[in-house]
Amino acid sequence: MGVTLPEPYYSRDGIVIYLGDCRDILPLLEPVDLVLTDPPYGVSYSSNHNLGRGTVPITNDGTRISLRLYRSMIPLLRTKHLLWFTRWDAWPDVWELIAPWYPLRGLLVWDKDDPGMGDLTHWGPSYELIASAGQGKCVGSRDCSVLHFTKAGAPRLHPAEKPLALLTYLIEKLDAQTILDPFMGSGTTLRACKDLGRRAIGIEIEEKYCEIAVKRLAQEVLL
């Protein structure tokens, strides 16, 4: 008897959430137009920001753990295009792991106009990188690769939450109709997909973030 997908944590209006390890679920999914994801960066990040629970580490963060995770799950992806958030000190490893599976297209720079975490005695990193790989083609004008979007405001629902406007822009720019986020977090990618009327799948290993994502999806369409 073949392996089948688990019961979805949430399924409505073309948006599906699975609670679990993406490595168990990815082999069972159909191909998608776009994988848009913000995985653990491998820098052992934790935050006290507006979470109300003290310092909370992100699951599977830490350099060696994250690289093993990337190495095992990237071959399981089936997508036309891949947009993968990463940091200045992690992107060379990400680039190397993606390259055998997808043609590398370039790096996007998200300018968030505000310094983030890091060495407080040095310039604050006010940007993050997005590795772009695959066969997807942009629609509309040929935009610059530096993207200016203010970071997610308070209160944040996840310590590494990305702004809804940025994810909406990326989905629209590649004209993706089916989107997968294997590290869903608080569900910003899925929220953007719902607002745009696109089909999407999110996978998240921590149930507390699945609960948050479901609440966000229950809100009225924002656009």
For 121-159, how does the pLDDT look when each residue is reduced to its tens digit (9 = 90+)?
Answer: 888 889 999 999 999 999 999 999 999 998 866 566 556
Cβ within 8 Å of residue 9, ≥6 positions away: 17, 18, 19, 207, 210, 214
User: Which range scores top for mean pLDDT: 2-6, 86-90, 200-204?
Assistant: 200-204
Asked whether the beta carbons of 186 and 209 are under 8 A apart, the reply is yes
pLDDT at 154: 56
Distance CA 68, CA 120 (A): 29
pLDDT at 153: 60
Once rounded to an integer, what is the mean pLDDT over residues 201-206? 97
Confidence label for 34 from pLDDT (cuts 50, 70 and 90) = very high
Q: How many other β-carbons are positioned within 10 Å of the β-carbon of residue 19? A: 20
pLDDT at 176: 98
Fold for the domain defined by 16-218: Rossmann fold (3.40.50)
pLDDT at 120: 83
- With residue 199 as reference, give the H or E element that holds it: strand 199-204
35-89 pLDDT, tens digit each: 999 998 655 444 434 444 433 443 434 466 888 899 999 999 999 999 999 988 8
Secondary structure in 3-state letters for 15-67: EEEEECCHHHHHHHCCCEEEEEECCCCCCCCEECCCCCCCCEECCCCCHHHHH
Once rounded to an integer, what is the mean pLDDT over residues 110-120? 80
Q: Are strands 127-134 and 79-86 parallel, antiparallel or unpaired?
A: antiparallel
Cα 131 to Cα 31, 69, 196, distances in angstroms: 20, 17, 23
* pLDDT over 90 percentage in the chain: 69
Residue 161 scores a pLDDT above 80: no
Q: By C-alpha distance, which of 32, 11, 56, 40 is closest to 205?
A: 40
Q: How far apart are the first and last CA of the chain?
A: 44
Give domain limits for the chain: 16-218
Residue 189 scores a pLDDT above 90: yes
